[in-house]
A = this chain, B = another copy of it.
Amino acid sequence: MDLMEQETRLTESQPVPHDTAATPGTLRPGGRTAKVRRAVLDATQDALADTGFHALNMDRIAASAGVGKTTVYRRWGSPVGLVTDLLHDMAEQSLPAADTGGLTGDLRANAELVRDTLTDPRMGAVFRAVIAAAACDEECARALAAFYRTRLAEWAPVVTRAAARGEVPEGTDPVELLRAVSAPLYYRFTITHEELTGAVTERAVTAALAAARDGAFLRE
């Protein structure tokens, strides 16, 4: 990854002809640049969906995005770079949390959202790829963590409201509870590669809820 060192260049002469082309796409994000990014990220998702991360190839992406491969190499540098940017892109599209009126329902909605996402052939493949890429690259790992931070922050109010209603102890850490719901699903998805059934989802909810009521997720 070499997208990072633009500061180190050109400490030299007078005119300082602009920190030329330090990070393509950030200085002049006009219509064309944006369109290229969109095309490339879409192509990346497609590729991940049907060939997986190991087969992700810059040349192929450039071709199927209808973009010069030089551009892809310059702006993203590597397959991991593509996935990382895809992740940033995904983090921007937020979808609102549920509000069913009860914590059980809300958590169930969350668990089912996770399940549906991971079960969907396209999205499931994308998440597998992203997780694999994060295991290989620090920068990508940060992007993945940021993505989930965003997501969990959106759902946190669900728990806060429930605490106000007395469904879980006051002082329950919302993020902690939400992670407890997701964790078993992701465990199966990444480690044991089991099918994510309705029973598994439901159990994740009831177990997390039981623990929460028992005060296992009290913020300290």
User: Which residues of A approach B to under 8 Å, CB–CB?
Assistant: 52-54, 80, 128-129, 131-137, 141-142, 144-145, 148-149, 176, 179-180, 182-184, 186-187, 190-194, 199, 203, 206-208, 210-211, 213-214, 216-217, 220
Contact = CB atoms under 8 A, between A and B. Distances in A.
A217 B190 contact: no
Contacts of A182: 187
B52 A136 contact: yes
Contact of A192 (B145, B184, B190, B220): B145
A159 B136 CA distance: 35
B192 A148 contact: yes
Given A176-B203, A207-B211, A190 B193 contact: no
Contact of A187 (B149, B186, B220): B186
B193 A180 contact: no
Contacts of A141: 193
A135 B136 contact: no
A209 to B, nearest CB: 8
11 contacts: A54-B80, A131-B131, A144-B193, A148-B191, A148-B192, A182-B187, A183-B186, A206-B214, A207-B208, A207-B211, A210-B213
Interface of A is mostly: helix
Given A128-B135, A208-B211, A216-B207, A190 B186 contact: yes
B191 A186 contact: yes
A116 to B, nearest CB: 17
A135 B144 contact: no
A172 to B, nearest CB: 12
B131 A191 contact: yes
Given A131-B190, A179-B192, 8 more contacts: A53-B136, A176-B203, A186-B186, A186-B187, A186-B190, A190-B191, A199-B220, A203-B216
A54 B54 CA distance: 10
A52 B124 CA distance: 24
A142 B213 CA distance: 36
